[in-house]
Chain A
Amino acid sequence: MQTDAVVESGKYPPGDLAIWVFILAELGAFAAFFGSYAFTRMKNVELFNHYQMTLDKDAALINTFALITSSYFVVRAVAAIRDSDSRGCVRWLVAALVMGAIFLVVKSQEYAHHIGEGITLSTNTFYMFYLSLTFFHFMHVIMGMVILAAVAVKAKRGCYSAEQHTGVETGASYWHMVDLVWLILFPLVYVMR
């Protein structure tokens, strides 16, 4: 199966190599977080299973759909600029940003609900992990949206072309990393019991 994200085989990933070093560092931090959650749960299975049921799985589903779809839109943006279609690239990036905004709104509503119930980091071990892990990811979504917005502005100004679009690929790679982390976070925190 041909990937839309890659035109030809090579030794280096799309985008600036520096972003990949950053991505690997970020992924390492999240892996440690996920491992800590899983092994802490071993000593608190009843507590984790009980409070996991208080989470909004519908919101998590919407957010997972939003992030996967946003990543798909980013793939289309990269494909568009490789075809010298700057306007198409901008349109797909804006669509991805809309999906990112949906994620932020839905997640903010979840946080508002928890805060309204008086839940904080110190409520119990489960909520400590849930709030810190999801908020850490939430901040990465905001960072990713800032990067995608900057790329969209530059694309609109005609700064990218079929020959030179490393910036688009760099932003895309970071955004895919944000999606990748959520793909593990969603089942671990909301579903697995």
Chain B
Amino acid sequence: MKKRTVLGIRACTWVWLLMMSLTLITYLIGQVGVGGVSASLTVLGFALIKGQMLGDYFMGLKRLSGFWRWPVSLWLFLPGGLISAAFMLVG
């Protein structure tokens, strides 16, 4: 089976590297101790992006059509929305 690669590296490897990078940035934000709505929502945004990438490329949902294309995306919207609302209400 032919594998799609970018610069000779598998697509899933690029996704893994991107997820690791976003995790490191999240950790550094935590180490600096930055708080508040903007920083919190930025970090949450990174997590939601990572979750979408995991669903699309690791779980393999990206190439599906119909109902099963969307459960992970919708799930990410649920806690993402609840957490965002709670942090924005605190201010």
Contacts and interface: CB of A to CB of B under 8 A. Distances in A.
A24 B66 CA distance: 16
Interface string A76-88: 1001001100000
A193 B41 CA distance: 10
Interface stretch (A62-70, A102-110, A121-129): A62-70
Interface stretch (A12-20, A138-146, A149-157): A12-20
Interface string B13-33: 111100110011011011101
Contacts of B54: 71, 176, 179-180, 183
B89 A42 contact: yes
A10 B62 CA distance: 10
A72 B24 CA distance: 17
> What band does the interface of chain B fall in when counting residues whose beta carbon is under 8 Å from A?
35 or more
A68 B87 contact: no
B58 A5 contact: yes
A192 B87 contact: yes
A48 B49 CA distance: 25
A2 interface: yes
B68 A12 contact: yes
Interface string B50-91: 110011111111111111100110011011101101110110
A4 B10 contact: yes
A13 B65 CA distance: 10
A7 interface: yes
A5 B50 contact: no
A49 B58 contact: no
A187 B47 contact: yes
Contacts of A34: 79, 82-83
Given A3-B56, A11-B66, A176-B58, A64 B12 contact: no
B83 A188 contact: yes
Nearest 9 CB-CB pairings of A with B? A5-B60, A2-B4, A38-B86, A6-B60, A191-B30, A35-B82, A72-B16, A193-B35, A34-B79
Interface of B: 1, 3-4, 6, 10-16, 19-20, 23-24, 26-27, 29-31, 33, 35, 39-40, 43-44, 46-48, 50-51, 54-68, 71-72, 75-76, 78-80, 82-83, 85-87, 89-90
19 contacts: A1-B14, A2-B4, A3-B58, A5-B57, A9-B63, A27-B75, A31-B75, A39-B82, A41-B86, A49-B35, A57-B30, A61-B27, A64-B23, A72-B13, A176-B55, A180-B55, A183-B54, A184-B83, A186-B23
